[in-house]
Amino acid sequence: MYAGDYLSSNLGHEIINLFQADNGHHYLYLNSSGNLNKAHEGLDIMLMVKAHSADSFEVIGLAKGLHVAPGATMTMPRDISQKVDLISRAQRDYIASEPGDVSYGGVSILDIFNDAEQQNIFITYKADKVLVPSNRRIFLQYDKNGLNKFDNKEVIVALKSHNMPRTSLKSYIYPEESIDGEQLSDYDNILTNIVENADLWTDKAVWKPLCNKSTANQRISLFDICKMRDDENRVSNALAYFMSLEQYRPLWIKFFGYYGVHLHNNYNVGREISSKITDESIDPARYPSGGRIDLLIEDSGNFVVIENKIKSDINNVKSDGEGMNQLHRYINFARHKVSATGQTPYFFIIAPNYNIPLLDEDTSKRYRIITYRDICEFLDEPTNMAAVESDWNFRALYDVMKWHTFDSPNEYLRYEMQEKFEQRLKTASSSISAPKTETSKLSNAIEKNNKKQSVLNMAKKSAISGEYIITVEDSGSIRVCKIYDNVKASLRECAEAKGFEYDPNWTTRQFGSKLIKEFGEGNEATIGEYTIVKRDSGSIETYRTYDNTLGALREIASKVGFNINESSNTRQNGSKLIDFINSNK
């Protein structure tokens, strides 16, 4: 969940997975397109995960009692114009049959995602129960070489016979034989240590959108745009900057005073300071040093070492030997420095509240932990907040630190998803000015074209990949079509190909109608490989049937990680690409 560039400017459809609908039921969306291969229809349990590292996922939810929604397992027809009718109408009928029409915060799911790029399937499953982790973090580790366990509050399950899904964003795990040297198979391991471990789960934190607050006036900072909320270096840079500014020095002197550090007004703040002891008279074996100190605050009387840790490997510090880690090296360095200056050394770790490090006995005697909540609560004091609000960039840093004040990553995620979801609910509800009818609840793109109501002839073989549909005709030939999610962009392509002047401020309906009037007949126009259709509701659809089929296959293959065999013909490559896509659903 929550993966891909799509989310940088859109609301991921999978956001519904951890929210309870207004009718009290739980509905799920399976990435990346909402559909699944019919062969997997009998699965009854879903683990919801988010990326944690290059070889691991963090489990953020568990769904039990899965019931496949109509349309989620349908294969694609040969007649591309029927795509939306076949799947979306099945979904529409199902949603209409559910109590309360499946709404969140008073807004129908059809209106919430009506303008999203992924809009053909709205619901993959209805679940009997959805649970979230209670008080321990849960990880799936795909690294065959060993595990990195951070503390005893974590549950880490190693998967030995499955590879980490990277393209399809989902993986199916069935009962299997355990591999040599393993007591449990991957299936049994997950079932025993995660699914059936009742102590790990609670239903008390499953979320329900309220649509009772506005985030419309929130300003987006570079931390948000550049996705730097979790970037220790960038946050450390910002802290160093605002600690150094003259107007904020009294603020930080006051803050560190609470921890017994009496800074002078002329203190200096350093970043990434080498802690290597260069004095050759010091035995490096006895007093190891090295590494870079995140923040070093110095004046004539104080030597303040600060290690800023945000990421989840906070406790996985590299060791020089038994009992020796980077924190000890900083102590050795500081002791050596202050022995000549007479400064008093202080050692701090700044950490998110959801990931407070467990220090060994020796280190805990030297280092004090400052949580981001400690900093934010200090800044929340009225006189201090006035200083924060005086500079928008300082406020942006404060907002970033606020993200790290939660007690668990799941609470952090909840806040983020709640914020995004409520913004979408606000937008969707404000755009609905009249009572909903069955038609207005639907994406306009699912209205049937009366000219194409014939009985469907199913293709011999087919696959869907995002906007693309690949089919094998009865003759064995390959056909590739693309149903555009961004209709307006495809209309621009058509207009520019024909030298047709257009107003960039036209709506999609205006744009499509004018092109059909100029180059088509009735409610349809064909411009080269493109077909533009105006539905009875007035909505516009575009699709493209590729003349250069092999070129289209190359285009799709590059997106899904499939290698085209240039020595094979189009039919062979098309058939293998279809198999590859379907096997990864």
Based on the fold, state whether residues 185 and 242 are members of the same structural domain: no
Based on the fold, state whether residues 56 and 154 are members of the same structural domain: yes
User: In the chain, pLDDT over 70 holds for what percent of residues?
Assistant: 73
Based on the fold, state whether residues 147 and 36 are members of the same structural domain: yes
Quick one: pLDDT at residue 268? 94
Average pLDDT over every residue of 42-68: 85
Based on the fold, state whether residues 236 and 118 are members of the same structural domain: no
Burial of 65 (0-12, 13-18, 19+ CB in 10 A): middle
* Residue 447 placed within a domain: no
Based on the fold, state whether residues 183 and 302 are members of the same structural domain: no
Helix (H, G, I), strand (E, B) or coil at 252: helix
- Give yes or no for a contact between 471 and 459, defined as CB atoms under 8 angstroms apart: yes
Based on the fold, state whether residues 257 and 377 are members of the same structural domain: yes
Number of domains making up the chain: 3
CB atoms within 10 A of CB 532: 25
Quick one: pLDDT at residue 450? 29
- The mean-pLDDT minimum among 61-70, 358-367, 542-551 falls in 358-367
Q: What does the pLDDT look like over 424-469, one tens digit per residue? A: 676 666 555 434 433 333 333 333 332 222 222 334 577 888 888 8
Question: Helix 372-379 crosses helix 382-389 at what angle (to 10 degrees)?
Answer: 90
- Alpha-carbon gap, residue 479 to 317, rounded angstroms: 54
CB atoms within 10 A of CB 528: 12
Q: How many residues does the chain have?
A: 585
Quote the distance between the C-alpha of residue 392 and its chain's center: 27
CB atoms within 10 A of CB 477: 12
Based on the fold, state whether residues 465 and 551 are members of the same structural domain: yes
Element spanning 383, H or E: helix 382-389
Q: What does the pLDDT look like over 264-273, one tens digit per residue? A: 999 999 998 8
Final residue before a domain boundary, out of 182, 215, 248 = 215
Based on the fold, state whether residues 396 and 316 are members of the same structural domain: yes
Element spanning 338, H or E: helix 326-341
Based on the fold, state whether residues 176 and 268 are members of the same structural domain: no
Quick one: pLDDT at residue 190? 86
Torsion of CA 181, 187, 189, 190, to 10 degrees: 150
Selected residue with higher pLDDT from 420 and 174: 174
* Residue 55 placed within a domain: yes
Q: What does the pLDDT look like over 113-134, one tens digit per residue? A: 765 444 578 889 999 999 988 8
Quick one: pLDDT at residue 282? 77
Torsion of CA 53, 57, 61, 63, to 10 degrees: 160
- The mean-pLDDT minimum among 139-153, 210-224, 453-467, 563-577 falls in 210-224
The band of 400, judged by pLDDT with boundaries at 50, 70 and 90, is: confident
User: In the chain, pLDDT over 90 holds for what percent of residues?
Assistant: 22
Helix (H, G, I), strand (E, B) or coil at 371: strand
CB atoms within 10 A of CB 195: 17
* Residue 437 placed within a domain: no
- Give yes or no for a contact between 185 and 161, defined as CB atoms under 8 angstroms apart: yes
* Residue 422 placed within a domain: no
Final residue before a domain boundary, out of 403, 432, 447 = 403
Quick one: pLDDT at residue 179? 61
CB atoms within 10 A of CB 253: 16
Enter the tokens of residue 571: 């039919």
Is residue 63 pLDDT above 70, yes or no? yes
Please provide the average confidence, as pLDDT, over all residues in the chain: 78
Look-up of token digits 């060993």: 146
Q: Is the dihedral of CA 37, 38, 41, 42 positive or negative?
A: negative
* Residue 385 placed within a domain: yes
Based on the fold, state whether residues 253 and 334 are members of the same structural domain: yes
Report DSSP state, residue 194. Answer: I
Is residue 6 pLDDT above 80, yes or no? no
What are the helix and strand counts (H, E) for the chain? 17, 22
- Alpha-carbon gap, residue 562 to 164, rounded angstroms: 17
Is residue 394 pLDDT above 50, yes or no? yes
Is residue 55 pLDDT above 90, yes or no? no
The band of 349, judged by pLDDT with boundaries at 50, 70 and 90, is: very high
Q: Which of 543, 535, 544 is nearest to 444 (CA)?
A: 535
Is residue 258 pLDDT above 60, yes or no? yes
The band of 306, judged by pLDDT with boundaries at 50, 70 and 90, is: very high
* Residue 571 placed within a domain: yes
Quick one: pLDDT at residue 434? 38
- Alpha-carbon gap, residue 221 to 241, rounded angstroms: 16
Q: What does the pLDDT look like over 496-542, one tens digit per residue? A: 888 899 888 888 888 999 999 989 888 888 898 888 988 766 778 88
Final residue before a domain boundary, out of 355, 370, 403 = 403
* Residue 486 placed within a domain: yes
Helix (H, G, I), strand (E, B) or coil at 548: coil
Based on the fold, state whether residues 48 and 137 are members of the same structural domain: yes
* Residue 389 placed within a domain: yes
Read off the pTM: 0.52
Buried-exposed string 351-371: b where 16+ CB fall within 10 A, e elsewhere? bbbbbbbebeeebeebbeebb
Residue 573: domain span: 459-583
Enter the tokens of residue 14: 């999978």
Beta bridge partners of 296: 270, 305
Based on the fold, state whether residues 274 and 184 are members of the same structural domain: no
